Amino acid sequence: MTKAPEQPVTRVRRITRTPKTELAENDGWKSAAQSQRLLHELRVHQIELEMQNEELRVSRAEVEALLQRYTDLYDFAPVGYLTLNVESSIQELNLPAARLLGHERSLLVRRRFRTFVSAGTRPIFDSWLASAFTPDGSQACEVVLLRDALPQLSVELDAKPALDGQSVRAVVTDITSRKALEEALGQAQKLEVIGQLAGGVAHDFNSILAAMLLNLGLLRAESAAVPESRAAVENLDALAQRASNLTRQLLLFSRRQILQPKRVELNVTLVRLFELLEHLVGERISCTFHPGTLEMWVEADVAMLEQAVMNLCLNGRDAMPNGGTLSLETSLVIFDAAGARVDPKSRPGQFVCVQVSDTGSGMSAEVQEHLFEPFFTTKEVGKGSGLGLASVYGTVQQHQGWLNVQSQIGHGTTVRLYLPQALKEKTVPAPAPKLIDTAARGETILVVEDDPALLAVTARALARLGYHVLTAADGRQALIVWDQHDKAIDLLLTDVRMPKGMSGLVLAERLAQAKPALKIIIMSGYSAEMSTQREQTRVEFSFLAKPFELEPLAATVRICLDQRQTQTADG
């Protein structure tokens, strides 16, 4: 038996993994996973860092923008900012503060702020700075700053302690314009009070003067044949007229003198005035007149305006006892809103300027403060009433204008008078004057006046003219007289201001209701108030300004009565 050949035996080697090999493979896999995880975490951190960097970049940009904004606000603020230590040394400041002090900012650091404060206000500053370092802080104070070659400034200081406790942060506000406005307002209020007092004095004095002038008029008629008496009467009349001019100036100052305005070309008016001025100022003084090249129309009372300019010129003449130059100029001026703020009294618009300049002794600031007050004068006793410039002030105020005065001791004075510009006047021929027959025609007049002397002489003057006259001292007495003689009374002549609660206008309204044909004349020393009274009352009346003489009294009465007769005939 044959054996089959043996087949080769394939031996399969069985590979078995030891734990150590498996551990190595597992570690490799884990290392790869960890690496991927670490890479992922690194990417996340990188993204976070990039985001944080972006946030930081944005934050930095915002901080820089805020810093720039702060710098802009700090350096372009409308007020000055300062940081001061206890010795007032400037630690830092903004540009407005540097401009207020008049130096470059770099030159001001470490300089003592106190050195800029005027000697007069330095104690106020020292007290303010000491209190600024206290926990409660300080109250604001006002001081004056002196600057090299620049005008001084009035400033307000306010501060609070800094966080370090070693310095204070101060705010400096320029209040120079505000102080000027306050002073101008205070001066205007002061002059207004003085004007009310002056007007009251003038009102009472006008009643006395009216009685004097009427008595002198009667004496003049009675003493016509006696030369000695006529001379005395004329002398007394001249003195009364002089006193009347003084009261008129008081009324001009108090703005109670009524205007009679018309449109006039100022250069033409002043040419005539300048011719008179040359004869008044004397040979030692050189006068010049420089009218503007354009026409300058104003709405003005010519007599009052001429008197105002003449007073300014004569005041300039008196400031040059040893001679000098007096110049008169006119010009057109336009003020816009910004320009008007330079002078507190000015306002926007077109104005005519009259400038009076002298090369005299000039005036101190103290004198200028009282310049337009009535009875204030720097002249010797008997050489000035102190009413000339006061009347100028009143005239300009009534014409809706203002005055600007610039003066310095030893350098003369310049006064500028501003009036609103008006349109050119259309020429109209003036009517021919009419002659008035003042004789009475049997009419009866009721005269009501609380001043006994004026009441008596007015009644006597009217009786001399041929009128039947009834009198009363106040409104209540007038009503009693009216009840007895109402049918006979043709005209009521009454003062506007009377005691016992009934004014002349109230009396006139009551009598006019009872008798519409009654004619009424109102007397007053305050002529300006009558324009307002005429608008407020319901009756028509004529006006007679105090003080008055016999001729104006007779003419006013006759004209008023003739109007009644004309109206009756027309009806």
pLDDT at residue 249 in the model: 58
pLDDT one-digit tens code per residue, 105-159: 888 889 999 999 999 999 999 999 988 888 777 788 999 999 887 888 899 999 8
The neighbour count for residue 8, using CB atoms within 10 Å, is: 6
**pLDDT > 70 fraction of the chain, expressed in percent and rounded:** 74
Domain ranges of the chain: 48-72, 80-174, 181-253, 263-420, 444-570
Q: Give me the pLDDT at residue 228, please.
A: 64
The H-or-E segment that residue 232 falls in is: helix 227-253
Residue 462: the pLDDT is: 93
Summary mean pLDDT of the chain: 79
**Predicted confidence (pLDDT) at residue 256 exceeds the cutoff of 60:** no
d(CA 160, CA 138): 7
For 422-434, what is the mean pLDDT?
59
Residue type, 355: Q
Asked if the model's pLDDT at residue 310 lies above 70, the reply is yes
pLDDT for 512:
92
Q: From CA 489, how far away is CA 270, in angstroms rounded? A: 49
d(CA 323, CA 318): 9
Task: Kindly report the CATH number that applies to the domain delimited by 263-420.
Answer: 3.30.565.10
Domain spanning 80-174: which superfamily? Answer: PAS domain (3.30.450.20)
DSSP, collapsed to helix, strand or coil, labels residue 332 as: strand
pLDDT at 531 over 60: no
CA distances (Å), origin 66, targets 71, 162, 196, 277, 281: 8, 21, 59, 69, 69
Q: What's residue 12's pLDDT?
A: 47
Better-scored residue on pLDDT, 239 or 133: 133
Average pLDDT over residues 499-509: 86
Please count the other Cβ atoms lying within 10 Å of the Cβ belonging to residue 314.
Answer: 17
pLDDT, mean of residues 390-411: 85
Q: How far is CA 280 from the centre of its chain?
A: 33
Average pLDDT over residues 549-567: 80
Query: Does pLDDT of 386 surpass 70?
Result: no
- pLDDT by residue (tens digit) across 336-370? 876 656 666 788 889 999 999 999 888 888 888 77
Residue in 170, 149, 172, 146 with CA at minimum distance from that of residue 159: 170
- Residue 556 predicted with pLDDT over 60: yes
> For the residues 464-473, what does the mean pLDDT come to?
92
What pLDDT shows up at residue 51?
Answer: 84
Query: Looking at the domain 444-570, which fold is it?
Result: Rossmann fold (3.40.50)
pLDDT score recorded for residue 382: 43
In this prediction, residues 54-59 reach a mean pLDDT of: 80
d(CA 332, CA 354): 9
Of 465, 460, 435, 479, residue with least CA distance to 557: 465
Q: Identify the sign of the CA torsion 279, 280, 286, 289.
A: negative
Cα separation, 308 vs 390, whole angstroms? 10
Q: What is the pLDDT of residue 413?
A: 92
Is the pLDDT at 410 greater than 60, yes or no?
Answer: yes
pLDDT tens sequence across 275-302 = 777 777 777 888 899 998 888 899 887 7
pLDDT in tens, 95-105: 888 888 888 88
Q: Say if residue 387's pLDDT is above 90.
A: no
